[in-house]
Chains A and B, each alone.
Chain A
Amino acid sequence: MPSNKSVSDAPIVQFTNCRILRDHQLQREDLWVREGKILNPEKLFFDEKGSADVQLDCKNSIIAPGFIDVQINGGFGVDFSLATDDFKSGIDLVSQKILSHGVTSFCPTLVTSPPSVYHQVLPQIGVRNGGAHGAGILGAHLEGPFISKEKKGAHPEHCLRTFEAGAFQDLLATYGSLDCVQIVTLAPEMRRSSEVIRELTKRGICVSLGHSVANLSQAEEAVQHGATFITHLFNAMLPFHHRDPGIVGLLTSDKIPAGRRVFYGMISDGIHTNPAALRIAHRAHPKGLVLVTDAIAGMGLAPGRHTLGQQVVEIDGLNTYIAGTKTLSGSVATMDTCVRHFQEATGCSVETALEAASLHPAQLLGIEHKKGTLDYDSDADFLMLNDNLYVQATYIAGEEVWRQDVSGM
């Protein structure tokens, strides 16, 4: 059909025969893409009198927004907390490999490390768009070192720090630069944490509570100062107690400032959290659930020994422990496995499972106007999945960047 597009000459692609996730529902609609963004076909039709240049039959796939992983420590032998010479190629490798898991944007995560590591590594992490080269980098997630000794989990004790002396200046000195930092996990019970949280929030950095022995009031105070996320709920925090629910109580707290929502990360690999606990959290606060992998270097590799920053980790099947202990340290789950496990364990709808890995992380980071949805004018980062939520193809900015090998590899 002749097209007379008054706005742009760029090719328009129409994905047909698919079910797209829009307005929290799977709808039988076509997806239109132009210049890397989702296009409004009605405006195209009436205002530009334009039509599609290419029509692709999606064979009844589900089309969902690309997954966003806000806690991933590495994978495929790459450890983001190790300042190696080939760090850049390491991050490139991971960003390319996770496309097959449906991840189109991620926050490379650094566990508690000595300042030298931050000073060397952080400048090498640049915020960048995704593409055929790999998933987009939204910014770093710094998990530690301002965390509690009692709940350090797999983090090395000798690197833990406080900011009692100089508050935010101490933090800045430790990290070196906050230019490309998106999230910081800290323990709010530490002295002067309120100042630090306010300062970080002012700079647009998302503050997350984790690896902490805070009680509920301390956690609520942190939220009032700007904290919006909880790092891997249940893990590395005080267990829920009916007279002091601790950080877990934030899910149903009535002290959250109006108009704000507390999000919480869940590693739904079947190991970090008992499915019953996963269900309790989901039912208590479904709109805040953010699926994360917390994947470590060993993800994607054969079982055995790998590193996690300053520690050595042993992998046996899906279990990852600090070598010689029973302390969990990250996971080797992939994002799409987490989505499937979450859906099975909670019995939730496909839409809910998909949104926990796309819309909610985007809302957490305040980028839902361009990522995490298939709304008009948002970035065309999306996935084609089959009915069992296995990723068939990954698209970034409207370009296919990964496709399931038909031979079934």
Chain B
Amino acid sequence: MKLIILENYSQASEWAAKYIRNRIVQFGPGPGRFFTLGLPTGLPRDHPESYHSFMWNNLFKHIDISPENVHILDGNAPDLQAECDAFEEKIKAAGGIELFVGGIGPDGHIAFNEPGSSLVSRTRVKTLAMDTILANARFFDGDLSKVPTMALTVGVGTVMDAREVMILITGAHKAFALYKAIEDGVNHMWTVSAFQQHPNTVFVCDEDATLELKVKTVKYFKGLMLVHNKLVEPLYSMKETGAEMSQSKKPYSD
């Protein structure tokens, strides 16, 4: 894995954004050649305003994406399992996920793959753990009874199939989860740990998230920042010509 440690939330976000941008540009998307970006379902579709609004306000309205190219799991579908299966088919049809970007829960979950989820699971309906319900209460005016208890989620296996995985972890409350994810063994109680077996993972975090890691680990990866920063500098643009693009560095693997 690559562990990228930035000083704070803003810097971590910016690094991640630049990295994703470079990856998209270097992929050279075009008609028929889609860069498929995978994102975990945030909140269940049952709350019509929340997840779609979140994605609209934070991503879609700022970019020129065509609405037909946006696929969001629909929690209101009549047959939920069929909806999940169809989602898996759509991923296959799009050529697989090029880059999956996600966060980590305080209980170490990726997407809604709560502790105990199979590490080879696919997109399915999941019952949410209490930790997650508590964390999501803020979207429902702090009223626990209003928080949905089930969610549709991509599976751990689904994410493992992505060609690259990027996990964003910021804040001291995530520190223990990060420790369990990268310094302990692969364990279905901390589902993010599954990515230890993925060939191409990037963890982007801030200083606070490293609080439970060994000093040795942190020093090692901080020492690599010079090399890692070459992934975001120079920052590429879609407007560059083909000649410049072919000279650009391909992302290296570890």
Contacts and interface: CB of A to CB of B under 8 A. Distances in A.
Interface string A33-66: 0000000011001101111000000000000000
A42 B66 contact: no
A49 B52 contact: no
Contact of A1 (B56, B61, B64): B64
A45 B53 contact: no
Nearest to A29: B61
Contacts of A4: 68
B53 A50 contact: no
B67 interface: yes
A259 interface: no
B34 interface: no
B52 A51 contact: no
Contacts of B53: 42
Interface string B47-80: 0000011001100110010111010100000000
Interface of A: 1-2, 4, 30, 41-42, 45-46, 48-51
A50 B65 CA distance: 11
Contacts of B64: 1
B56 A42 contact: yes
A46 B64 CA distance: 14
Interface of B: 52-53, 56-57, 60-61, 64, 66-68, 70, 72
Contacts of B60: 45
B57 to A, nearest CB: 8
A2 B64 CA distance: 12
B49 to A, nearest CB: 9
A45 B66 CA distance: 8
A2 B66 contact: yes
Contacts of A45: 56, 60-61, 67, 70
Contacts of A1: 64, 66
A130 B151 CA distance: 49
A51 B67 CA distance: 8
Nearest to A4: B68
Contact of A41 (B61, B66, B68): B61
B101 to A, nearest CB: 20
B70 to A, nearest CB: 8
A54 to B, nearest CB: 14
A258 B14 CA distance: 50
Contacts of B61: 30, 41-42, 45
8 contacts: A1-B66, A41-B56, A45-B56, A46-B52, A46-B56, A46-B70, A49-B68, A50-B67
Given A30-B61, A41-B61, A42-B61, A49 B67 contact: yes
B62 to A, nearest CB: 10
Contacts of A48: 67
3 closest residue pairs by CB, A with B: A49-B67, A42-B56, A45-B67
A41 B66 CA distance: 13
Residue from B53, B68, B70 having most chain A Cβ neighbours under 10 A: B68
Contact of A42 (B52, B68, B72): B52
Given A4-B68, A45-B60, 9 more contacts: A2-B66, A41-B56, A42-B53, A42-B61, A45-B70, A46-B56, A46-B67, A49-B68, A51-B66
A41 B72 CA distance: 17
Nearest to A42: B56
B192 to A, nearest CB: 29
Contacts of B57: 42
A1 B61 CA distance: 15
Nearest to A44: B67
B29 to A, nearest CB: 15
Contacts of B68: 2, 4, 49
A2 B72 CA distance: 20
A45 B67 CA distance: 6
A42 B55 CA distance: 10
The interface centre, meaning the residue of A4, A42, A48 with most chain B CB atoms within 10 A of its CB, is: A42
A48 B70 CA distance: 12
Contacts of B52: 42, 46
Nearest to B66: A1
